[in-house]
Chains A and B, each alone.
Chain A
Amino acid sequence: MDKFRMMAQILQSNQESFMNGICGVMALASAQLYTSFEFNCPCIPEYNYSYGISMLVIPPIWFFLLGFVLNNNVSMLAEEWKRPVGQRRKDPTVMRYMCVSISQRSLIAPAVWISVTLMDGKSFLCAYSMDLDMSEFGKNVSGHGLSQEELLRTLAKIPCKHIYDGQHILSREAASRYICCISQAFGWLFLLIITIAAFLIRAIRPCFTQATFLKTKYWSHYVDTERKMFDETCTEHAKGFAKICIKQYFEGISGEIQSFHDNLHGDDSDDEDDKSATEEDKLMGVRRLDTMNKVLWDWHTCKPPLTLRKSGDASTGQNGDCSMNANKNQDGNVCDKTDLNEGQNGFKHGYVNPGLEIGQSELGKVYDNASFSIEQNGLTNRHSNASTSQNGFMNGCVSSPGNTQRKAWAVYYSKV
C-alpha cells in the first residue's frame, strides 16, 4: 500500500514524471488493445491490402494524437507561443525543448503498437498473401488449372483458416509461416533501429550545448510549475472570495454587520482573528469582479518579469517597465499601471508603487531592518516602541486590533 502511495506521489510530483506515467500507461494500453482486438482480415482480393496496412498504420496515428490530447504541456506550449511579450521575454529554445519532449513521449505508444503488430504477423499476412511467389515453395506455377483471377482469390483466402479452399494448390501453413517470418524480421529490425536512434540521441546530445540544455530544462519546468501554482492560487482565491461573499450576503439580509474583530472579546478572539486574517490573506487584495478579471487578463497579456523583489528592493523587472506606460484600456495588449489609490497593494509583482522612487543603494544605506515583502499583510515587526493606542484609528470600517503593525502606523500617522 505504501509502495503504491509512494509511486503515486512520485508520479504526480511534477508534470514530467506524470507524463512519463501516462506514457507508460498508454504503451501498456496499446499492447493490451492489440491482444484484445479481433483481427478480421476480409480475405477478399480488393480489400486485403488496405485492411492489413491500415491496421499497421492507423492505430499508431491515434496513439500519437492521443498523446497530444492527454499531455497538458501541449496547451502550455501553445499558450507560451501565442502570448504577447508583456514584461517577460519569450525564449524559443524553451519552446523547442517542450515541443521535442512532447513528441518524444507521444511516440512511444505508436512504436509499441507497430512492433507488436509486426511481431505477431497477422497484418503482414493479410496484406501480402496475394503477392506470394509460388515458385518459392517449389510448386508449379501453372499446374493447377486456375485462371489468374481465381488464383488471386484463392491466395487472398490464406489468412482465413476456415474458408481457405486451396489446400491442394498451396499449403496454408507453409505460406503463413513464410510471411510471418518476414514480418518478424521487419519487426526486429524496426526495434533495433529505434533503439539505436534513441541511444544515439541520448549519448551524443550532451556533447552539444549541455549548458544551454540545462537552462532550457530548468525554465520549462519553471513554466509548468508556475502555471500549476497560478491555478491553485486562483482556486484558493475563489474559495476565500466565495466565503466572504456569502457571509456578507447573509449579514446584509439580516441587517447586522458583525465585524470580524470584536474588541470586547479580547483573548478568545485570537483564533477568529487568525482565521479571518488568513481568509483575507487569500484574497491578496483582490476583492472585486473587475479587479479579478484584470488579474486574469494581465496574466496572459502581460506576464510579470522573472524577477523577485528582494528585501528593500523596489525596482521593477528587467524585461520592461509597465509603469512607463500610461493607463491603457484592457483591450490593448499593453499592460497598464494599476492605480493604487484604491488601496489594493497585494497582487502587484513588477508594478512600481507611485511615490516610491528610491535608488537601491540608498535603500541599503538608510535602513537595514526594514523589509518589504510580497504579500500584503506581511510587514515584519521593526518598531519597538509601538504603542497600543487604538483611538486614533477607529474610523470607518477599519478595525484591526490583532495587528500591532497597523497600530504602530496609527501612532506615526498621528505624529506625522
Chain B
Amino acid sequence: MDRLKLVLQYFQSNSESISNGICIILSLISVKLYTSFDFNCPCLPQYNKMYALGVMFVPPIILFLLGVLVNRHTGVLMEEWVRPLGKRTKNPAVVKFLLSSMLQRSLLAPMVWILMTLLDGKCFICAFSMNVDPKYFTGIPNSTGIELIKIMAKVPCKEDVIFKNSSFRKAVSRYVRCYSQAIGWSILLFFIFLGAVGRVLKPCFNHATFLQTRYWSNYLDIEQKLFDETCVLHARDFARKCVVQFFESMREDVTVRMPLSSAFRPSTIHNEYEEEEEERLHGITRQDQVDHLLQTWYECKPELDVTRMAYKPKVCITWEDINGKALFSEV
C-alpha cells in the first residue's frame, strides 16, 4: 500500500509524469490484453487474412483513441486551437508542440500491440500461410481430395487431423514466423533509431524557441488547472454564502441593516473566515457575473501581463560624491 502511494506520489509530481505514467499503464494493459487474448485462426481460405489483419490492426486503433482521450493535453490543445483571439495572441508553435507530445504518448500502446503480434507470429502465420510455396518443404500430406490452398490454410491449426505424423506444418510455421519476427525486429530498430536521432539532433535546431514553446505549453496546462480549481473554490463559497443568506432572510426578526463606515468598523466584527471567503469570491457575487466570467474566459482570454497586480515600482537611490561618482546605491 505504501509502495503504491510512493509510486503515485512520484507520478503526480508534475503533469508530464502523469502523462508518462498513463502511457506506460496503457502499454502494460495492451501487453496483458494480448497475452490473455485467445487467438483463434479460422483456418479457412476466405477468412484467414481478414481475421488475422483485423486482430493485428483494430485493437491498436482502439488503444490509440483511448490514449488520446485519456491525455490531459488533448483538452488544452483543442481549447487553445479553437478559441477566439481575445486579448491574447495565439502561438501556433505551442499548439504544434502539444499535438506532437500527445501523439507520441498515444502511439506507444498501439506500437506495443503491433510489435507483440509480430514477434509472436501467430497473426502472420494465420494471414500468410496460404502464400507459402509448399514445394520447398518436404512431407506435404497426401491431398485426399482437398485442394492445396485449403491445406495451406489449415497450417495455423495445430490440431487438424491431416497434419498428424508430419513435420510439414511445423516447418511452414517456422518459416513464416521467422519472417514475422524479422519484420518485428526491423520495425523496432527503426523506431528506436528514429528516437535516438531525434533526441540527439533536436537541440541543434531552434533550441531557444523550443524552450519558449515548452514553457508556454506548460503554462497553459497549469493555468487551466488553476482556473478549474479557482472556479470550484468560488462555487463552494458562493453556495455557502447563498445558503447563509437564504437562512438569514427567513429569520423572523426584522433587522435593519445599515452599512457602517469602514473607519468605524472594528476589525473584530469580520472573522477571518469570512474575510478569506470574500477574497476567494474575488467580487463575483451574482449569477450573471459568473456566466459572463466563464463566457469571457473562452471568448476573450486575458493577456499575459500581470504588471497591474504585481508591479511595485522601486525607488533606486544612488549616493554620489562631488565628482558624480557613485559611492553607494540601493537597488
Contacts and interface: CB of A to CB of B under 8 A. Distances in A.
Contacts of B303: 289
Contacts of A41: 174, 178
Contacts, number: 240
Nearest to A163: B167
B250 interface: no
Name the prevailing secondary structure of the B interface residues.
helix
Interface stretch (B105-113, B140-148, B321-329): B321-329
B60 interface: no
Contacts of A205: none
Nearest to B188: A62
Given A82-B204, A357-B326, A238 B267 contact: no
A356 interface: yes
B84 interface: no
Max count, chain B CB within 10 A of own CB: residue among A74, A82, A242: A242
A250 B282 contact: yes
Given A250-B230, A416-B317, A54 B182 contact: yes
A165 B212 CA distance: 67
Interface in B183-235: 185, 188-189, 192-193, 195-196, 199-204, 207-209, 211-212, 215, 218-219, 222-223, 226-227, 230, 234
Interface stretch (B47-55, B68-76, B236-244, B292-300): B292-300
B267 A396 contact: no
Nearest to A74: B199
B259 interface: no
B185 to A, nearest CB: 6
Interface string B161-186: 00000010011001101100110010
A213 interface: no
Interface stretch (A113-121, A214-222, A364-372): A364-372
A28 interface: no
Looking at chain A's contact residues, the main secondary structure is helix
Contacts of B307: 287-288
A254 interface: yes
A238 B185 contact: no
B293 A250 contact: yes
A246 B267 contact: no
A357 B323 CA distance: 13
B178 to A, nearest CB: 4
A398 interface: yes
A307 interface: no
A264 B314 contact: no
Instruction: Tell me which of B230, B284, B307 has the highest count of chain A C-beta atoms within 10 A of its own C-beta.
Output: B307
Q: Which of B10, B175, B219 has the most A CB atoms < 10 Å from its CB? A: B219
Contacts of B58: none
A116 to B, nearest CB: 17
A397 B177 contact: no
A223 interface: no
Contact of B326 (A235, A243, A356): A356
Contacts of A370: 328, 330
A372 B328 CA distance: 11
B101 interface: no
A242 B215 contact: no
Interface stretch (A65-73, A138-146, A319-327): A65-73
A258 B202 CA distance: 45
A301 B211 CA distance: 11
A171 interface: no
A409 B282 CA distance: 32
Contacts of A265: 267, 275
A37 interface: yes
B282 A398 contact: no
Nearest to A265: B267
Given A234-B218, A244-B309, A252 B302 contact: yes
Contacts of A8: 6, 10
A223 B275 CA distance: 46
A249 B267 contact: no
A1 B3 contact: yes
Interface magnitude class on chain B: 35 or more
B100 interface: no
Given A297-B208, A356-B331, A248 B306 contact: yes
B14 interface: yes
Interface in A275-300: 280, 283, 287-289, 292-293, 296-300
Contacts of B202: 75, 78
A281 B204 CA distance: 33
Interface in A228-271: 234-235, 238-239, 241-256, 258, 260, 264-266, 268
Contacts of A234: 215, 218
Nearest to A244: B306
A31 interface: no
A334 to B, nearest CB: 13
Nearest to A43: B174
21 contacts: A4-B3, A41-B174, A42-B178, A65-B196, A69-B195, A160-B174, A234-B218, A238-B222, A241-B304, A244-B306, A244-B310, A254-B282, A254-B289, A254-B293, A265-B275, A288-B305, A293-B212, A297-B212, A299-B211, A355-B316, A362-B327
| The 6 residue pairs across chains A and B that have the minimum distance between CB atoms | A254-B283, A250-B282, A289-B304, A300-B208, A42-B178, A256-B283
Interface of A: 1, 4-5, 8, 37-38, 40-44, 47, 51, 54, 58-59, 61-62, 65-66, 68-69, 74-75, 78-79, 81-83, 160, 162-163, 165, 234-235, 238-239, 241-256, 258, 260, 264-266, 268, 272, 280, 283, 287-289, 292-293, 296-301, 343, 345, 353, 355-358, 362, 366-367, 370, 372, 379, 396-398, 400, 406, 409-410, 412-413, 416
Given A44-B175, A288-B306, 17 more contacts: A1-B2, A40-B174, A40-B181, A47-B178, A65-B192, A69-B196, A82-B207, A160-B171, A244-B309, A245-B223, A247-B230, A256-B282, A268-B272, A287-B307, A296-B211, A357-B326, A409-B314
